[in-house]
Amino acid sequence: MQYIIIGASAAGMAAAEAIRRLDSEGSVTVLSDEQDMPYFRPMLPFIVSGKKKFPEMMLIGQGPYRGANIDVRINSRVEAVNTADQKVSIKSGEELPYDKLLIATGSVPNIPSDIAGVEAEGVFVLRTIADACAMAHRAETARHAVMLGGGLLNLKAAFALLERGMDVTLIVKSPEVLSKLMEPDDTVLIRNALNKAGLKLVTGSSVTRILSDSSGVIGVLLDSGREIPCQMVCIGKGIRANVEFLDKSGILVNQGVVVDKFTRSNIQNVFAAGDVAVTLDPIAGERIVTGLWTNAAEMGSCAGRNMAGQPGIYSGTFGILNAAQVADEPFVSMGIVHTKGTAYEIHITATPETYRKLVFTPDGTRLVGALFIGDISKAGLYRYIIREMMPIKDIKSEIVNHRLHYGHFLR
């Protein structure tokens, strides 16, 4: 059996390990378009800040990633997939046959077409180890960085640059940061933490042009006409599935590779997992693409087992599920948290140090979302209730009043 996996990040490597545990004889080949061996992508901001070196981020040899009898080929960009003949074509001209194929190519940064000057030296996206190293190098001489987009990765990159002693300005079109993880009214504690850390925040604005000269970036021009001097720009305006090489493959693509509950595509022997796959959000009942490392690894493991002949159902991507820390403020956002203009039942508890938002179905019979800021100590219990769609009639008051404990799951 010849297994080919395109993509060497969370989903691809998790699938390779799952296959190898079940099939010790088949060949497992992982193709990566990067020049470095697989690494832990969420740690990229630590490269920017200088707190970590690349060897500390390597995947193989860490935790479940043993890499035993798995052929990882770097600098091996796949340019086409021939599903009729079951072959993949690599940029070098080589063709590799497969019996089972996994698409795990992840995502690529979205570069807005309405921003002029993005080709200037000193403009970055933070997606690969090469990006992180280039940012760190530029930061050695830059004094001020402008970050475009208020998502979690861009915030982490911003704080990495702050740790280097740089001035950092974050520009977002939305009313607040982290708009995909919480609503503007939910962000008071986050905003306070950003202000305390020294991050300058410009909301309700967008950049129309990146200004440059022979030295590279020298500033940005806002839609208001305001100019902000800077020496580097990091664009974090979302991602899109990396599927261009599948154009003539016959594989069904709709925002990503569409898969069933067994991670199978519409083409026999072709599977997909991770950021590139469109899967089901079991809470909202909608098809989504997730950008989370943990979800990608879980989905990749499921795909690997299915490819190796051990059928298993992927339970679905738990939509918005982020646990992180911004400055000194930890938060967890999960399930449905955007409720403005809806009929969801909402319970909010706020103190100067903590914020909690619980979202129930309109009839109040099921918990479907939760946001914790400051105190995240019981978030795991709430996550379990949401994901398992537990009946809550007997424990609703404990849920609302934050008195939930493990004993409630033993009844």
Close Cβ partners of 373 (under 8 Å, ≥ 6 residues apart) = 186, 189, 190, 329, 330, 331, 354, 355, 356
Min mean pLDDT across 49-53, 196-200, 317-321 is at 317-321
Give the domain 336-409 fold: Enolase-like; domain 1 (3.30.390)
Query: What number does CATH give the domain 123-237?
Result: 3.50.50.60
**Domain 2-41+55-108+240-307, CATH among 3.20.20.70, 3.90.1720.10, 3.30.930.10, 3.50.50.60:** 3.50.50.60
- Name the DSSP class of 176: S
Span 212-222, average pLDDT: 97
pLDDT at 323: 82
321 versus 171: which is more confidently predicted? 171
Please give the C-alpha separations between residue 172 and each of 155, 232, 240, 274, 366, in angstroms, as whole numbers.
Answer: 11, 17, 19, 27, 34
What percentage of the chain carries pLDDT values higher than 70?
97
**Cα distance between residue 20 and residue 36, in whole Å:** 22
Query: Which pair of structure tokens corresponds to residue 243?
Result: 């599927």
- Residues 202 and 220: their CA atoms lie apart, in Å, by 13
> How far is the C-alpha of 73 from the C-alpha of 37, rounded, in Å?
8
* Identical fold, 2-41+55-108+240-307 and 123-237: yes
Yes or no: say if 245 and 79 are a contact pair by the CB < 8 Å rule. yes
**Domain extent listing, the chain:** 2-41+55-108+240-307, 123-237, 336-409
pLDDT surpassing 80 at residue 366: yes
CB 116 within 8 A of CB 209: yes
Round to whole Å and give the CA distance between 354 and 336: 20
**Close Cβ partners of 80 (under 8 Å, ≥ 6 residues apart):** 88, 89, 245, 248, 249
pLDDT digits (tens, 9 = 90+) for 93-118: 999 999 999 999 999 999 999 999 99
| pLDDT recorded at residue 331 | 95
> What distance in Å separates the CA atoms of residue 238 and residue 57, rounded to the nearest whole number?
24
pLDDT at 408 over 80: no
Confidence of residue 56 (pLDDT cuts 50, 70, 90): very high
* Helix, coil or strand: residue 303: helix
pLDDT at 238: 87
Q: Note the pTM of the prediction, 2 decimals.
A: 0.89
What backbone torsions phi and psi does residue 130 show, to the nearest 5 degrees? -65, -40
State yes or no: pLDDT of 321 exceeds 70: no
Q: Note the pLDDT tens digit of each residue in 253-309.
A: 999 999 999 999 999 999 999 999 998 776 666 777 777 888 899 999 999 999 999
